[in-house]
Amino acid sequence: MIKINYWSSFQSYKDRKPPWIRFHKSLLDNFEYQCMSANARALLPMLWLLASEDEDPTSGLIRDNNAKIAFRLRLPRQEVDEGVAEIEAAGFIEQNQPCNESVTEPLRNGLESVTPETETETETETETETDKKLSSDNSVEQSAPTWREKIPPEIVPFAEQFQGYVAQTQGAKAPVVKDSLIKSCSEAVDKLIRIDKHSLDTIANVLRWAVTDEFWADNVLSLASLRKRREAGGQTKFQKILAAYERTSVTSADVLREMERRVTVGRRDEAEGIDNDPESLTPHCGVIPARHAGSEGNPGECTALARSGGAQTGRDVDRW
C-alpha cells in the first residue's frame, strides 16, 4: 500500500470526490521532482490519479500492491518497482502504511456521503501550504547559475558581436538578435572550443573570412548552426568553412584591411556628400564581393566589424 505525502495540500478534498485532481504548476520548479528520472516523473501523477479513486477521497492511499498498479497503468512491473522506489526516496510517497491511516481530514461521520461532482466543476480552492512549499522551491532555481554564468566570459560577447554584425549586413535574412539566439550561439561556440578543440582565435579568424566570402556570407547567419551536419557522420558546417578558409591564400589580415578600407571610403564619400559608388568599393585584395560592403552598398555598416578587427588589437580582435 502507498500513501501520498501532502495529499490534503495537493488536492484539498473535504467531503466530495471530483472527477479530476489538481496538478500544480509549481512542479516545474520543484527541485526534488525535476531531479527524478523521466520514468519517475511520469509515474507520480499516475499514482495521484489512483489515490483519487480510493473510497475515502481524503485518504491519499493506494491500497493496491505494485503488481496491481503495474496492471492498472499497463506498465512493466520492473518499471513500476523502480519508479515507486525513486519517488519514495524523493519524499513524495510512503509505503506500507496501515490501511486505516488517513493523510487528510476524514469524512465527518461514517454515514456521510461524498458529494458527486460534474465534469465541468470549477476549481475554487485557495492556495494551500503545499502550494507555498512548492513555490518556495523556486529559490533553488533562482540561486542556480544562469546560462550566461555557465559559458566562459569571452564567448558571449563574441556571439553578441557576430550576430549583431550579421543583423546589420544581412537585413531581413538575419535572425532576430534576442537572448535565446545568443544562448544557442554561445553554447555552439563553447562546444566548438571544449569538444571540437578549436581555439576562439581560430573560430574568429575563420568567421571573419566567411562573412566576406561570396558563398559563405549568405550561409553563416547564426553561430548556432556551426556544429550541425547535413548527414550523419558528415562534416559540420564549421569544418566545411574551415576547409574552404584553409584552401584560400587570403589571410585574416587581408580581410580586415579590406573591411577597414571600405569604412574609410564610405566615411570620405559621406563627408563629401558623394553617393556611394559601387566601383569605389571594389575590393583591393579580391576577396570581398562589393555586395558585402553593407546594406544597399553602404560600407558604414561594416564599421563595427572593421573597428573590432582592424582598427584595434588585443581583446577586441579576440572577441570578433
In the chain, domain spans: 2-102+126-143, 145-320
pLDDT value for 248: 79
Distances (CA, A) of 34 to 27, 45, 87: 8, 13, 11
Alpha-carbon distances of 93 from 6, 48, 77, 106, 130, rounded to whole Å: 9, 10, 18, 19, 14
Please answer whether residues 216 and 241 qualify as being in contact, where contact means their C-beta atoms are separated by less than 8 angstroms: yes
Whole-number pLDDT of residue 60: 82
Flag whether pLDDT at 156 surpasses 90.
yes
Q: Which of 166, 262, 273, 178 is nearest to 221 (CA)?
A: 166
Output 98 or 179, whichever has higher pLDDT.
Answer: 179
- Helix, strand, or coil here: 116? strand
Helix or strand holding residue 135 (H, E): helix 129-136
Percent of the residues in the chain that have a pLDDT greater than 90, as a whole number = 35
pLDDT at residue 8, as a whole number = 72
Q: Which three cell numbers stand for residue 270?
A: 559621406
Q: Average pLDDT in the 16-21 region?
A: 70
Q: How confident is the model at residue 141 (pLDDT cuts 50, 70, 90)?
A: very low
Q: What is the mean pLDDT of the chain?
A: 74
Residue 54 confidence (pLDDT): 83
Averaged pLDDT, 180-194: 95
Q: Tell me what the mean pLDDT of segment 269-285 comes to.
A: 58
Helices of type H across 195-290: 200-210, 237-247, 252-271
Query: Is the pLDDT reported for residue 121 higher than 80?
Result: no
Q: What is the pLDDT of residues 227-259, one digit of tens each?
A: 999 888 889 999 999 999 988 755 656 666 777
Element (DSSP H or E) covering residue 173: none
What pLDDT score does 292 carry? Answer: 41
